[in-house]
Chains A and B, each alone.
Chain A
Amino acid sequence: MNGRGLTYRRLLIGLRPVAFIGLLLLLWQIAVAQHPGGLLPGPVGVAYGIVDLVRDGLLLKYAVASLFRVTWGFLLAAVIAIPLGLTVGWFRRAELAVNPLVQLFRPISPLAWIPLAILWFGVGDTAAIFLIFVGCFFPLLLTAMSAVHTVPEMYVDVGRNFGLSTREFVYRVLYPAVMPQLLAGARITLGIAWLVVVAAEMISVNSGLGFLIVDARNAGNRYDLVIAGMVLIGLIGLLLDLGMRSLERMKSFQWSESGE
């Protein structure tokens, strides 16, 4: 009885955000019905827009195209920026030399690279991937650099004490020790990548969710599709974030919360 009551309560709490979204959708629909004029499609229109996209096969195609670019741009940046950041962070002098340059590049929006990206790679996937790479590179580099500093000296001493080679030390002590911070940084960076891909696709390619939004406007003012695209971007971004969070919660990665 008690247990069942508890699950029931939990279910109610879980349904709260759903109910809230439902309420907002209802208010949105009412407001649009009160003021017809085409400034904003209602939720029903957007839902039909999504149905259209699914039926034409565009939804899957565009989502896959966007995810493909994000994956490549993000992974390339991770593969280069993380080892580089760990190395630079480990050697204080290298960090002193490199840091001012990184701080100079960091505030430049990745979108500022669009003209150069198109000049170097032409209009296409490579340019978009390059922009995502640039957007991910500096945050990941900084995350890795600062993560090294937080490795307790004790772990370094234990590694030396047990006679680990440099290679073993990197894989068995350094990487696991910085993993919680790297994952937290990677999660935020993946969010940035997802922001950048939409902008990149508006300019440098003709597929993907960003392209969908521009194209829907240009080819016939289909604002229902514009909002459908926005909704999908939000949903996929949320799923990416949840995926990264579940990675952070893995037992051998999450030690920082309870161990420190």
Chain B
Amino acid sequence: MKLRIDHVFKSFARDGASIPVLDDIDLEVAEGEFICLVGPSGCGKSTLLDVMGGFMKPTSGTVTIDGEVVTGPDPRRILVFQERGVFPWLTVEGNIAFGLSKLPRAEREARVAHYVRMVRLEGFEKSYPSDLSGGMKQRLQVARALAVNPDVLYLDEPFGALDSVTRLIMRAELMRIWQTERRTILFVTHDIDEAVQLADRVVVLSSRPAKIKDILTIDLPHPRNISSPRYLELRDSLLDKIGLAYSV
């Protein structure tokens, strides 16, 4: 068991009242597993990632990774944001090297070169993010995260700001990277197709306060045929679990 969320509750105090956001979240994630968290916007998905990442303390309950309780942010688990998460004052190389300052120079350069290749940004090493497209910025952010060799990646709607074609390409890229560099991934999205295309298991959250409503196992091999009957069946069943089946 890689990651365990043990009866996590989280509430925020606002104007003297306590507003519950996470309600008894309980989940076990295996090593190398790809989990998608889906749920209506504002349900507390990002809060859950913040708690898992150690950016926020749960009101009660614990998150453990490899048996160790998460108490704060750590480079062993990196949170990837939407595209504005890259540092605009650093070049592509500078961004990828951001977490590598303690490495000897030769090793750092080798690692940067490796991840530049992995996310296909060759030729843009000296470019600044302002000269990159949205998809390239996201690949850069993934490269910056992978470069520090984390066990767990948290992705918070990483493709949410991209157009739909770029989003499809990015999913394929992420799958390719995940298959070469097996990491445990927790991926927050509100896109049903994204979840069914990427995940081993999809965790369906309710609206606020977020509870785990259901967990759907996607038993399809990669690459997934997105017009196969089984895919469509799983997609419909996910829509159904969210409570939207055939309603649009």
User: Is B120 among interface residues, defined by CB-CB distance under 8 A?
Assistant: no
Min CB distance A5 to B, Å, is 31
On whether A158 and B85 interact (CB within 8 A), knowing A163-B99, A168-B101, the answer reads yes
CA distance A168 to B77 in the complex (A): 19
Residue among A152, A161, A172, A251 making CB contact with B79, cutoff 8 Å: A161
In the complex the two chains form, is A259's CB within 8 Å of B81's CB?
A: no
In the complex the two chains form, is A255's CB within 8 Å of B130's CB?
A: yes
| Cβ–Cβ < 8 Å partners of A163 in chain B | 73-75, 99
User: Is B78 among interface residues, defined by CB-CB distance under 8 A?
Assistant: yes
In the complex the two chains form, is A154's CB within 8 Å of B81's CB?
A: yes
In the complex the two chains form, is A152's CB within 8 Å of B74's CB?
A: no
Q: From A259, which residue of chain B is reached at the shortest CB distance?
A: B88
| Cβ–Cβ < 8 Å partners of A179 in chain B | 89
| Cβ–Cβ < 8 Å partners of A168 in chain B | 101
In the complex the two chains form, is B75's CB within 8 Å of A253's CB?
A: no
On whether A154 and B99 interact (CB within 8 A), knowing A160-B55, A161-B53, A161-B78, the answer reads no
In the complex the two chains form, is B128's CB within 8 Å of A157's CB?
A: no
| Cβ–Cβ < 8 Å partners of A20 in chain B | none
Min CB distance A158 to B, Å, is 6
- Give the number of residues in A that approach B within 8 Å (Cβ atoms): 22
* B72-94 interface (Cβ within 8 A of A): 72-75, 78-79, 81, 84-85, 87-90
> A141-166 interface mask toward B, CB cutoff 8 Å, 1 = contact, 0 = none?
00000000000101101101111000
Min CB distance A187 to B, Å, is 18
* A73-120 interface (Cβ within 8 A of B): none
CA distance A8 to B166 in the complex (A): 43
Min CB distance B130 to A, Å, is 4
In the complex the two chains form, is A154's CB within 8 Å of B128's CB?
A: no
In the complex the two chains form, is A157's CB within 8 Å of B79's CB?
A: yes
In the complex the two chains form, is B89's CB within 8 Å of A253's CB?
A: yes
* A164-194 interface (Cβ within 8 A of B): 168, 172-173, 176-177, 179
Most B CB within 10 A of own CB, among A155, A158, A256: A158
CA distance A163 to B85 in the complex (A): 16
Min CB distance B215 to A, Å, is 27
CA distance A252 to B87 in the complex (A): 10
Min CB distance A257 to B, Å, is 8
Min CB distance B133 to A, Å, is 13
In the complex the two chains form, is A152's CB within 8 Å of B78's CB?
A: no
Q: From B82, which residue of chain A is reached at the shortest CB distance?
A: A154
On whether A152 and B84 interact (CB within 8 A), knowing A163-B73, A179-B89, A255-B130, the answer reads yes
In the complex the two chains form, is B130's CB within 8 Å of A157's CB?
A: no
User: Is A218 among interface residues, defined by CB-CB distance under 8 A?
Assistant: no
> A55-85 interface mask toward B, CB cutoff 8 Å, 1 = contact, 0 = none?
0000000000000000000000000000000
User: Is A258 among interface residues, defined by CB-CB distance under 8 A?
Assistant: yes
Most B CB within 10 A of own CB, among A161, A252, A253: A161
In the complex the two chains form, is A155's CB within 8 Å of B130's CB?
A: no
CA distance A162 to B87 in the complex (A): 13
User: Is B148 among interface residues, defined by CB-CB distance under 8 A?
Assistant: yes
In the complex the two chains form, is A154's CB within 8 Å of B89's CB?
A: no
> B36-80 interface mask toward A, CB cutoff 8 Å, 1 = contact, 0 = none?
000000000000000001010000000000000000111100110
User: Is B129 among interface residues, defined by CB-CB distance under 8 A?
Assistant: yes
| Cβ–Cβ < 8 Å partners of B85 in chain A | 154, 158
| Cβ–Cβ < 8 Å partners of A158 in chain B | 79, 81, 85, 87, 98
Min CB distance A18 to B, Å, is 34
Min CB distance A249 to B, Å, is 13
Q: From B130, which residue of chain A is reached at the shortest CB distance?
A: A258
CA distance A161 to B81 in the complex (A): 12
Residue among A152, A155, A162, A251 making CB contact with B75, cutoff 8 Å: A162
In the complex the two chains form, is A162's CB within 8 Å of B89's CB?
A: no
Min CB distance A148 to B, Å, is 16
Residue among B53, B81, B84, B128 making CB contact with A251, cutoff 8 Å: B128
B residues engaging A (CB < 8 A)? Answer: 53, 55, 72-75, 78-79, 81, 84-85, 87-90, 98-99, 101, 128-130, 148
The 10 closest A-B pairs by CB, nearest first: A259-B88, A255-B88, A258-B130, A162-B99, A176-B89, A160-B73, A163-B75, A161-B73, A255-B89, A252-B89
A residues engaging B (CB < 8 A)? Answer: 152, 154-155, 157-158, 160-163, 168, 172-173, 176-177, 179, 251-253, 255-256, 258-259
